Structure 1
């Protein structure tokens, strides 16, 4: 069987390795340049590949194509593939075919995916289970299945990856929230994006679990109009629930199966309102897999947050520096500001994806004393927020941005890097942006 992999990022290489291992005739094609480390892997495994162009004759003769989540349907490449009627799947679907006898916990949402996935994994590992952390968060699902199979797969999944699943069925699906993001890939229609997120549950049966945020209006509306066949388990910070996760008397409650998990909000490792949601979702996932309440409590109290996601860097002369470089949309910045209890000097900017800054205007007025713009074009931030703040400074490199933020701050303040934008104008990716921030802070 001829398997063509389109895109040679982490997910594409993982799919290629798994395909080769399972005896497929594999060919990898990337229209851009392939990283050297990936080229070496392909060469060592005798997997033919091309970069910088696509060989239509090979691609269109494929029995099946595994498509990178980054390739849009509107591209010339995908139009030709669809015309030919070749079967197209995502790497998630491909990896699942060879691991569907294991337990799959899949997590999606517009915000909080990485934190919740890492926290769920932490709970499973603390309980002594053979679990793997895969998907958008690190190594690809397919690579893990090929090289180091596990009994439990905790997977972070984006809507782009869900768009090309067919039979993928998680035992536990978590949907955290749905806010406008990537609408350019969904014909600028919110309902298309919502439907894409709900694909995570489309193949589930009554033996499976669907864990969702009851406080999210988009999720609630969808569930009122469309059926879900798995067992729904809600979580909420607005109201006590008979079953699911909720907050009452400053305690986090998880009532799933017969053993309730109850712990003080103040004992949770992750702070801020948005992290109450993430902690409940992860804790519920643990209970669906019969992890004991003691282990769940211990995990929720001991978790260390992820790099580039509300990551504490250092305190310099009484000023705390927080790296939230992974906040690439306005909603993520809203969550970051909402959790702040001290005055904030905010570093933001980059490639603006048509951001609407009105969502954070109230929080900026209430909590932010200065904004340091970091980007090639800072006009959208000025236009969106200049009426809400007196001090705005333009910078075009991280060292200057950190120095300016430090200068504007006083003892007891927080300097927060939470960009609301993609990083590609000045950095390779959000990780490089976060690392440069940490380096600049350490040099102060």
Structure 2
């Protein structure tokens, strides 16, 4: 666990920033706003002048500092990071620094293998609908410590990745957990490391956990959820969620988790059924999360590019029960087990699966082994898979991009992958 250090504690120290992605640049802006010079800027793949490569003098520069502020993508299990800490250099993250100095009674962190972005967006929408001000940040949107982030807010709703959770020493008032399945195994060095790190926020002193009844996975890890747990199921009245306009039972559960977290946090009106139903109206949803992008000759095209592991992909397919579905899967291969995908899709009628690089061949092999009755095809890439799915749909059903894998490698990010999907659909519509 990293030490308990806040941003203000960095005054007078020799500080380095390691990793210069979106959060790394927010870290630089924060240090500049505090008037603290940055002794070294280091990245594994430098894109700017004045940035040292980690393997080409950067690690030595980090070792000469009093503290290193790292980006979430740099794994705490890396040998070079562990060597820094063994040499007496604390390695901390922006979220941990912020929480150490924040009014944590007004903070909820939302995590989970799937659903955390949607749940964060729902929670922020509900807070606004209840007449309160919220900052939605962290892994979703702007970092709360970024000088560009608004500070005149009543509540902080912070999406927290498993990467960021390992940087946190002091927890928020409430942690919401939406789901649990294998993900990011390369970063966490296997499934047990991922499960432990993903749920680590719940074990911080004083945290109250709001946890979805999401199959057996979270119940099996109940010992990792801390002493104060409120379980959330879809039983009872869910009529207030209709105003959100979301597809799928899993999103109803996400909405229930969002509301319960706000009630636990003490947001005024969150426990009032009439007010929460009114607050739910007008939710715009998220791009690349079960969003219909168009129809061509009777076939609907749905972008779910944010689904980067098995659970959200199965949930996405479930959202279209009773319809023919051409499912597009595959992307960066993180080594996760795709047997659960095969088990979840086995026996489904009206389903064809189109497998794309890089993980496509491995997904196809898992489906052929675990769901031999499925129509499974390998494709050269996303445009080819989209066209093949459209031809298979033959004037009816859904072409669903829900990859069960991240976009790294072939695309800059999930939005770039979505843009390629949209462009292909536009070409089909014009042909």
- 2:165 matched residue in structure 1: 162
CA distance change for structure 1 residues 128 and 267 in 2, over 3 Å: closer, same or farther? closer
CA distance change for structure 1 residues 305 and 365 in 2, over 3 Å: closer, same or farther? farther
- 1:176 matched residue in structure 2: 178
In terms of mean alpha carbon deviation, does 341-350 or 94-103 score higher? 94-103
Does the 8 Å contact 1:311/1:324 carry over to 2? yes
Does the 8 Å contact 1:135/1:157 carry over to 2? yes
Supply the distance in 1 between the matched residues of 2:377 and 2:300 (Cα, whole angstroms).
20
Does the 8 Å contact 2:364/2:378 carry over to 1? no
Does the 8 Å contact 1:111/1:177 carry over to 2? yes
1:322, distance to aligned residue in structure 2 (A): 0.5
- 2:390 matched residue in structure 1: 406
- 1:281 matched residue in structure 2: 257
CA distance change for structure 1 residues 364 and 266 in 2, over 3 Å: closer, same or farther? farther
In terms of mean alpha carbon deviation, does 88-97 or 193-202 score higher? 193-202
- 1:291 matched residue in structure 2: 268
Aligned mate of 2:108, from 105, 108, 121: 105
Gaps of 5+ in 1: 40-47, 238-246, 253-262
TM-score if structure 1 supplies the norm length? 0.83
Could you give the per-residue CA deviations for residues 204-234 of structure 1, whole angstroms, max 9, x where no partner exists? Answer: 42xx5321124443433443x468355x322
Supply the distance in 2 between the matched residues of 1:183 and 1:154 (Cα, whole angstroms).
26
Gaps of 5+ in 2: 1-12
CA distance change for structure 1 residues 313 and 146 in 2, over 3 Å: closer, same or farther? closer
Q: Confirm or deny that 1:354 pairs with 2:361.
A: no
1:69, distance to aligned residue in structure 2 (A): 1.5
**Higher RCO (C-alpha under 8 Å, 6+ residues apart):** 2
In terms of mean alpha carbon deviation, does 321-330 or 295-304 score higher? 295-304
Supply the distance in 2 between the matched residues of 1:101 and 1:420 (Cα, whole angstroms).
34
In terms of mean alpha carbon deviation, does 390-399 or 334-343 score higher? 390-399
Q: Which structure shows the bigger proportion of residues in strand conformation? A: 1
SS of the residue 1:55 aligns to:
helix
SS of the residue 1:365 aligns to:
coil
Aligned mate of 1:79, from 37, 62, 82: 82
1:150, distance to aligned residue in structure 2 (A): 3.9
CA distance change for structure 1 residues 189 and 314 in 2, over 3 Å: closer, same or farther? closer
1:47-66 aligned within 5 A = 49-51=51-53, 53-66=56-69
SS of the residue 1:405 aligns to:
helix
CA distance change for structure 1 residues 193 and 400 in 2, over 3 Å: closer, same or farther? closer
CA distance change for structure 1 residues 266 and 126 in 2, over 3 Å: closer, same or farther? closer
CA distance change for structure 1 residues 188 and 269 in 2, over 3 Å: closer, same or farther? same
1:298-377 aligned within 5 A = 298-341=278-321, 342-361=323-342, 362-376=344-358
Could you give the per-residue CA deviations for residues 14-42 of structure 1, whole angstroms, max 9, x where no partner exists? Answer: 122112212323232112133x6xx8xxx
1:84, distance to aligned residue in structure 2 (A): 0.9
Supply the distance in 1 between the matched residues of 2:377 and 2:216 (Cα, whole angstroms).
36
In terms of mean alpha carbon deviation, does 272-281 or 381-390 score higher? 381-390
- 2:6 matched residue in structure 1: none
The count of corresponding residues between Structure 1 and Structure 2 is 405
1:174, distance to aligned residue in structure 2 (A): 0.4
1:383-398 aligned within 5 A = 383-386=365-368, 387-389=371-373, 391-398=375-382
Could you give the per-residue CA deviations for residues 322-354 of structure 1, whole angstroms, max 9, x where no partner exists? Answer: 101111112221111122221101111223322
Does the 8 Å contact 2:183/2:191 carry over to 1? no
Supply the distance in 1 between the matched residues of 2:333 and 2:388 (Cα, whole angstroms).
22
RMSD over aligned Cα, in angstroms? 2.5
